[in-house]
């Protein structure tokens, strides 16, 4: 891949002035070979395999940073869903989670994802055992991330799994009440979860992937914001073209990093995820892009349309710059991780209901949203079910990362720290959906699921 002097100059300016970074290099590792009838042996094998395969991940990432002058914020690992690896074993599955934590500490990565279960069509004994272990695991670890896929456009929505995950989410928050329910920030509930997602907390290594792969997630909200600011008089079609060109440049950088990482690690190339992932830093916000387009504040009427323009342009530009785009690839709307989103939530411009509408467009869903600690499990399940329905009916990935803050009330600010940022606790609809959630069963898939 050859960059012209002008492209190099533009890219350097993006780093120095516009918060451009490679958000993550994520190594996906197949752990199916670690299966055994004894949980302790599985844990030992998981630790050994991760430490052996990912031994050079962090040094290689640092070498690429130095060689290219590219900030790589996180180095991460995703593994085969642990409910599959432990399906034939007896004993506490938390032993495997602790082995994952120790391995992550040993190789020096920021997070490890894959304490996960795929329960969109039903739940095995292994699935349920692993899911019920999640609150304790998240309370005892710092790097392990958990997820469950509870719905697909092919199978519909497993409402029994939704109800269970709502309970687990609340328990994870309660067990980490000393940190505003921080444990729930490492737990994602998915519809149509991708197998190649490099972003946490929902990453896992799908069974259709190669034995070991490396993925790259790029991020450039600040760069896109600067592009929109540079064309204040452009109409929306012209603006979309400018954003496409910017996304092309950002994704080319991601492809370069992916190629070098795969060659240096001697593993398979995975995907480039071209998501716009904000951080709490001022100038690195997706909400600011929407405001620069002409909205007084994110959440104002027109927000969903503006987000549609943004996502469409980013994807079109990125697709042309990478040999293989995947993961989530779009715009993230995490309330606590985006300073302008948090500000809009405080002002009342942004409600959970408006965010839900915008998730029909964005690439994730209801992300990093603190809610009152007394929110019932049934209400959490209802919010999750609504989000799953958007994903299922629109054949797209959606998810929830809700944080019921123990003792927290609407309007109170909570501080999670680091990239997780801070946000006001958002109010939820007070009317009950307990009767609906209590019915259980499956919500059937849409008629468009029958494609064979």
d(CA 280, CA 341): 10
- In the three-class reduction of DSSP (H, G, I as helix; E, B as strand; rest coil), residue 39 is classed as helix
CA-CA distances (angstroms) from residue 33 to 133, 264, 270, 428?
A: 22, 24, 20, 44
Q: How many CA atoms lie within 13 A of 96 on its CB side?
A: 36
pLDDT at 215: 94
152-177 in b/e burial notation, b at 16+ Cβ within 10 A?
A: bbebbbbbbbbbbbbbbbbbbbbbbb
pLDDT at residue 223, as a whole number: 86
- Check residue 17 and give its pLDDT: 47
Cα 107 to Cα 239: distance, rounded to the nearest angstrom: 43
Report which of 7, 69, 53, 104 is spatially closest to residue 257, judged by C-alpha positions: 69
Which helix (H) or strand (E) covers residue 290, if one does? Answer: helix 286-292
What does the alpha-carbon distance between residue 371 and residue 452 come to, in Å, rounded to a whole number? 41
**What length is written for the chain?**
452
Q: Which residues are CB-neighbours of 376 under 8 A, at least 6 positions away?
A: 432, 434
Please calculate the CA angle 312-233-222 and round it to the nearest 5 degrees.
50
pLDDT of 335 reads 92
- Those residues whose C-beta lies under 8 Å from the C-beta of residue 186, and which sit 6 or more positions away, are 111, 138, 144, 145, 146, 200, 201
Give the closest residue to 383 by CA, choosing from 406, 359, 352, 360.
352
Mean pLDDT by 10 residues, the chain (452 residues): 54 56 90 95 97 96 87 92 94 96 96 96 94 97 96 96 98 91 93 92 92 90 89 95 89 87 94 83 83 95 95 88 82 89 94 93 88 97 97 94 95 87 93 96 88 70
* Nearest alpha-carbon partner for 145 in 179, 189, 85: 189
Q: What are phi and psi of 349, to 5 degrees?
A: -70, -30
Enumerate domains of the chain plus CATH numbers.
24-191 (3.20.70.20), 219-449 (3.20.70.20)
pTM value? 0.92
Q: Which residues pair with 26 in a beta bridge?
A: 76, 215
């Amino acid at each position: 891949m050859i960059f012209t002097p002008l492209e190099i100059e533009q890219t350097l300016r993006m780093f120095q002035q516009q918060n451009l970074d490679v958000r993550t290099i994520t190594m996906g590792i197949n752990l199916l070979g670690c299966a055994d009838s004894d949980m302790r042996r599985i844990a030992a094998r998981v630790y050994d395999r991760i430490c052996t395969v990912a031994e050079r991940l962090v040094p290689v990432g640092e070498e690429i940073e130095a060689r290219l002058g590219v900030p790589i914020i996180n180095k991460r690992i995703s593994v085969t869903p642990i409910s599959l690896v432990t399906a034939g074993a007896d004993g506490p599955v938390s032993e495997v989670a602790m082995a994952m934590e120790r391995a992550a500490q040993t190789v020096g990565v920021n997070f490890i994802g894959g304490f996960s279960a795929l329960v969109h069509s039903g739940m095995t004994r292994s699935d349920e055992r692993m899911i019920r272990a999640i609150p304790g695991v998240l309370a005892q670890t710092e790097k392990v991330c958990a997820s469950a896929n509870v719905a697909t456009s092919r199978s519909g929505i497993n409402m029994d799994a939704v109800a269970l995950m709502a309970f687990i989410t609340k328990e994870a928050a309660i067990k980490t009440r000393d940190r505003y329910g921080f444990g729930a920030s490492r737990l994602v509930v998915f519809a149509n979860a991708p197998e190649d997602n490099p972003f946490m907390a929902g990453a896992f290594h799908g069974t259709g992937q190669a034995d070991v792969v490396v993925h790259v997630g790029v991020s450039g909200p600040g760069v896109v914001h600067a592009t929109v600011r540079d064309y204040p008089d452009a109409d929306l079609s012209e603006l979309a073209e400018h954003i496409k060109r910017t996304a092309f440049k950002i994704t080319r950088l991601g492809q370069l990093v992916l190629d070098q990482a795969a060659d240096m690690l001697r593993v398979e190339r995975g995907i480039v995820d071209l998501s716009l992932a904000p951080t709490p830093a001022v100038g690195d916000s997706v909400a600011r892009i929407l405001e620069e387009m002409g909205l007084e504040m994110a959440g104002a009427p027109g927000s969903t349309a503006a987000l549609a323009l943004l996502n469409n342009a980013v994807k079109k530009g990125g697709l042309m710059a990478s040999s293989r785009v995947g993961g989530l690839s779009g715009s993230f709307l995490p309330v606590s991780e985006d300073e302008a989103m948090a500000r809009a939530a405080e002002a009342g411009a942004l409600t959970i209901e408006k965010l839900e509408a915008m998730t029909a467009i964005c690439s994730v869903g209801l992300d990093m949203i603190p809610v009152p600690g007394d929110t019932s499990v049934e209400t959490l399940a209802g919010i999750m079910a609504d989000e799953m329905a958007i994903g299922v009916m629109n054949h797209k990935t959606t998810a929830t990362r809700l944080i019921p803050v123990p003792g927290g009330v609407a309007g109170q600010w909570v501080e999670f720290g680091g990239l997780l940022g801070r946000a006001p606790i958002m109010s939820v609809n007070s009317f009950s959906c307990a009767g609906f959630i209590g019915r259980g069963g499956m919500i059937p898939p849409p008629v468009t699921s029958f494609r064979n």
